[in-house]
Amino acid sequence: MKSFRKFVDDIKPSFTKGGKFPWLKSTFEAFETFLFVPNRVTFRGTHIRDSIDMKRTMAIVVVALLPPLLFGMWNTGFQNALATGVERTVLQDFWFGFLQVFPIIVVSYVTGLAIEFVGAQIRGHEVNEGFLVSGMLIPLVLPVDVPLWMVALATAFAVIIGKEVFGGTGMNILNPALTARAFLFFAYPSYMSGSQVWISGLIKGEGIIDGFSGATALGQAAANEPVLLNTTSQPITPMDMFIGTIPGSIGETSTLAILLGAFILIYTGIASWKIILSVFAGGLAMGLLMNAFGGNALRDLPAWQHLMLGGFAFGAVYMATDPVSGAQTERGKWIYGFLIGIIAIMIRILNPAYPEGVMLAILLMNVFAPLIDYYVVEGNIKRRLKRLKVNTNP
Amino acid sequence: MPEVIKIRRGLDIKIQGAAEKIILTAEKSKTYAVKPPDFPCMTARLNVKAGAKVKAGDCLFYCKDRPQIKFASPVSGEVTSIERGERRKILEVVVTADREIEYTDFGTTDPSKLEPDQIAEKIQNAGLWPVIKQRPYAMIANPSKKPKSIFISCFDSSPLAPDLDFALKGQSVAFQAGLDALAKLTDGKVHLGLNGKYPPADTFINARGAEMHYFSGPHPAGNPGIHIHHIDPVNKGESVWYVHPEHVIQIGNLFLKGIYDASRLVALTGSEVKKPVYYKMLSGASVEPVVSGNVTGTELRYISGNVLTGSQISRTGYLGFYHNQITVIPEGKHYELLGWAMPGFKKYSTSRSFWSWLSPGGKYRLDTNLHGGERAFVMTGEYEKVLPMNIYPVYLLKAILAEDIDKMEMLGIYEIAEEDFALCEFVCTSKINVQSIVRKGIEAMIREVE
């Protein structure tokens, strides 16, 4: 390690002002601090600091994303096997899915990080770690058959328009990963919805069993099918929804894997349990209300099952909890999460144009989060002013 | 049992090196210094020249804007040097001590027989006025404005802080005399903030003429700012004064003995100290006699005060005016290969993102490494967990950064000081220098409002 550190120290001057490659300073710094926690010490204020930093925080989120990612890879192979009628082992399923999903992850990271590096260099800043998470979130919210050039385009859009124009990580208004998904959803709807896109190989249609349907549970419910069927025309059990052996975006199908991730995020103290809990509470409340009305398949679907379908759980755990685009006051977090839950289920059930409402609900509440915080902080200000008035006019 | 105000939000940092309850008399320091930078928002004017002879209690320098606020020499001797920094700002006035301290006599008086003005004048003449601080702004109290109340916080909850119940026990008479003097300076009450964890020292509980309040919970439960916030919060246009109990005793001694007695009990703490114990020292003494031969390692940081709010000094540096603690911890000038990805069994963090949560009981040898680079505000809810005040810290800090005076006022700038926000700085994932921002906000307020 010492000789490696010496090598880094030796080449360091080339990247500083007056060296050969000063225009690569941010890039060099990013790699250096990635390899080594820097030797910088406190010089004013507190003399000691907590061990946590942004890299660690983002790394934990990526770890928390592993359960849905690994499950999603396996499920990709599993769904394909069902569609083509091929017999495969668990490992073969996983390997098949890995080959489908891995390129999407690579494209997402390469595109996003390249833009981040250039952006940081132009501003003369250090490269922010935020994209380590966004780069993993983007693939997980896309259907597996999405063309790679679309992934690159959406990522570029999300990073530039969603984040960099506002000043980089910490300054953005919308969740970058959802910005990418929303971009694709509205620009290329045929690749992002319908019954063909959720299972690998279905669009090409080679070797697919006759009469095979790749429709998601929500798609069927939206079409007012009385009984939700899986791809082999058996009724979908709540257990299927919970485990996640159903078609859907790569990372969103398994509620179990997502809850595992939620446990990691909450236990380490990185995501707000208040937001996660209140999103689920809001969704349940709205679902129960709709159950009371009834009348079609979507409204009759038990409220608790709504929480396990589509991107609801994934959005609640990984998207709504983004600290930058979400509400920042503790009281605001309850309101913010609850409204996401309500609006997500409301859009899902009442709006025929969108079978899935979670993405739009979170983006909408991203926009409203500063307003919620404004009123929470305003309450604090009012209390302070009231105290002043009481004291001056006894 | 009296009512205890329970502080729930806060943090007791698990750091090694608490002082054992043994009192040693430190070898006498040859030189002593009074440092103007110890006093925020104060510009010093010299009263003596290098080479002048002074007695303990004689004025070395005074405040440029309020000349009645004087700063006294802790010992008798010769002014040997005046260290200056940028733009000739005075950094240190150094006095080489005589073998025996000669005191200037200010005369003994019973504070209860004096008028408030006479009390203030006596304290000012003896150079003791700077021990009285005020909220807003956490600076030396403005003598021309009466406070609505005075607070004495009788326990220190900061990391490795000296146990004041131990350090100040048996000093009831001097404490009471100081309290009587201070009580005359306000039309309101004098509040004592006591440790609710166990029975406080007789010095405090026997005090008369003050209202007692008990606090329990993690740091900053002992900060005067927190006590003021919970009992008598500062509003716009008001001021509250607060004095450290050690200094109350100094004021008491001024009235009882007629001298400026700068002696105090100092806790020598920190993981790198071989024998962390209490020392009897004078304010402004060089720390060299107590640390030399008593520390391990070479790359060390010497701090006058505690690890959160203290100031960095050299191995031969001087104890700060307000400090009764010296901390020695290792410097952290080292790289760590992929440190952010390692399990981190020995890394202290309030989050559970390192595996050190497996050993919850342990104490840590913490160094000065930043553990990362500075970033924009990203994480939320971190500061709130360690700030037991009804204040939105991030919004207040952002108002300061935007230099929005109205917003700062509305969000509670009058109630805060750096020390109350020190834990926010410690836990910050983005490594933001929170205390510097707070001071910047306070300076802006003084410039624009006062």
Considering only CB atoms, A35 lies closest to which of B301, B338, B377, namely B338
Tell me the per-residue pLDDT of B140-194, one tens digit each, with 9 for 90 and over. 999 999 999 999 999 999 999 999 998 888 889 999 999 999 999 999 999 999 9
- A1: pLDDT confidence band, cut at 50, 70 and 90? low
* Residue owning tokens 């997402």: A108
What average pLDDT does the segment B392-419 reach?
A: 93
Q: What is the DSSP letter of B198?
A: S
Q: pLDDT confidence of B198, banded at 50, 70, 90? A: confident
Answer for the pair B42, B140: CB distance below 8 angstroms, yes or no: yes
Residue A235, judged by CB atoms within 10 A of its CB (0-12, 13-18, 19+), counts as exposed
**Could you say which of B303, B349, B367 has the minimum Cβ distance to residue A50?**
B349
- Rounded to whole angstroms, the Cα distance separating B329 from B344 reads 20
* Residue A246, pLDDT score: 87
Q: ipTM score here?
A: 0.89
Q: Which residues of A touch B351 (CB under 8 A)?
A: 50, 52, 57, 268-270
Instruction: Quote the pLDDT of residue A256.
Output: 95
Identify which of B298, B433, B416, B339 has the alpha carbon closest to the alpha carbon of residue A49.
B433
Contact A52 B353 (CB under 8 A): yes
Q: Does B406 touch chain A (CB under 8 A)?
A: no
The reply to whether omega before B136 is within 30° of 0 (cis) is yes
CB contact under 8 A, A36 and B338: yes
B residues 85..114 contacting A (CB < 8 A): none
Write the pLDDT tens digit of every residue in A26-45.
777 777 777 777 777 888 88
Give chain A positions within 8 Å (CB) of B158: none
pLDDT digit string, tens, across residues B343-391: 777 888 888 888 877 777 788 899 898 888 888 888 888 899 999 999 9
User: Measured between CB atoms, which of A50, A328, A388 is closest to B380?
Assistant: A328
CB B37 within 8 A of CB B439: no
Which residue has tokens 């690890």?
A: B307
Strand residues in B35-127 grouped as ranges (E): 44-46, 53-54, 59-63, 70-72, 77-84, 90-97
Instruction: Output the pLDDT for position A391.
Output: 66
Chain A contact for B371, CB < 8 A? Answer: yes
Domains of chain A: 2-35 (no CATH), 54-378 (1.10.3430)
Q: Do B370 and A49 touch (CB under 8 A)?
A: yes
Nearest to A52 by CA among B14, B340, B378, B330: B340
* Interface contact B342, partner A, CB < 8 A: no
The average confidence (pLDDT) of chain A is 87
Amino acid at site B145: K
What is the average per-residue pLDDT within A80-103?
89
pLDDT band at A88 (very low <50, low <70, confident <90, very high): confident
Closest Cα in chain B to A36 = B337
B410 contact residues in A (CB cutoff 8 A): 381, 384-385
Please answer whether residues A141 and A249 qualify as being in contact, where contact means their C-beta atoms are separated by less than 8 angstroms: yes
Under the banding of pLDDT at 50, 70 and 90, the label for residue A55 is confident
pLDDT tens profile B259-302: 999 999 999 999 999 999 999 999 999 999 999 888 998 889 99
Looking at the complex, report in whole angstroms how far the Cα of residue A386 sits from the nearest Cα belonging to chain B. 10
| Single-letter amino acid, residue A234 | Q
**How near does any CA of chain A get to the CA of B356, in Å?**
11
> How high is the pLDDT of residue A392?
62
Secondary structure of chain A in HEC code, one letter for each residue:
CHHHHHHHHHHHHHHCCCCCCHHHHHHHHHHHHHHEECCCECCCCCCCCCCCCHHHHHHHHHHHHHHHHHHHHHHHHHHHHHHHCCCCCHHHHHHHHHHHHHHHHHHHHHHHHHHHHHHHHHHCCCCCCHHHHHHHHHHHCCCCCCCHHHHHHHHHHHHHCCCHHHCCCCCCCCCHHHHHHHHHHHHCHHHHCCCCCCCCCCCCCCCCCCCCCCCCHHHHHHCCCCCCECCCCCECCHHHHHHCCCCCCCCCCCHHHHHHHHHHHHHCCCCCHHHHHHHHHHHHHHHHHHHHHCCCHHHHCCHHHHCCCCCHHHHHHHHCCCCCCCCCCHHHHHHHHHHHHHHHHHHHHHCCCCCCCHHHHHHHHHHHHHHHHHHHHHHHHHHHHHHHHHHHCC
Q: Check residues A93 and A205 and name the one with the higher pLDDT.
A: A93
Answer whether B153's CB lies under 8 Å from B220's CB. no
CB contact under 8 A, B372 and A37: yes
Cα distance from A393 to chain B (closest Cα, Å)?
13
Chain A environment of B336 (Cβ under 8 Å): 36-37
Cα of B348 to nearest chain A Cα, Å: 6
* The pLDDT of residue B442: 93
Sign, CA torsion A341/A342/A343/A345? positive
- Per-residue pLDDT, averaged over B95-115, amounts to 89
B349/A contact by beta carbon, under 8 A: yes
Judged by CB atoms closer than 8 Å, whether chains meet at B371 and A33 is answered as no
Report cis status (omega within 30 of 0) of the bond before B200. Answer: no
What is the model's pLDDT at position A379?
Answer: 93
Q: Does B339 touch chain A (CB under 8 A)?
A: yes
Q: Is the model's pLDDT at A62 over the cut of 60?
A: yes
Q: Do A270 and B412 touch (CB under 8 A)?
A: no
Of B236, B376, B433, the CB nearest to A170: B376
- Which of B15, B429, B435, B437 has the highest number of chain A CBs within 10 A, making it the mutation to test binding with A? B429
Closest CA to A343 of A293, A278, A292: A278
**Which element (helix H / strand E) includes B23?**
strand B23-25
Show residues of chain B in contact with A31, CB under 8 Å. none
pLDDT tops 60 at residue A393: no
Chain B residue with minimum CA distance to A267: B352
Residue contact A51–B341, C-beta within 8 A = no
Most B CBs within 10 Å: which of A46, A58, A391, as the mutation test of the B interface?
A: A46
pLDDT the model gives residue A245: 87
Least confident of A185-189, A309-313, B97-101, B371-375: B371-375
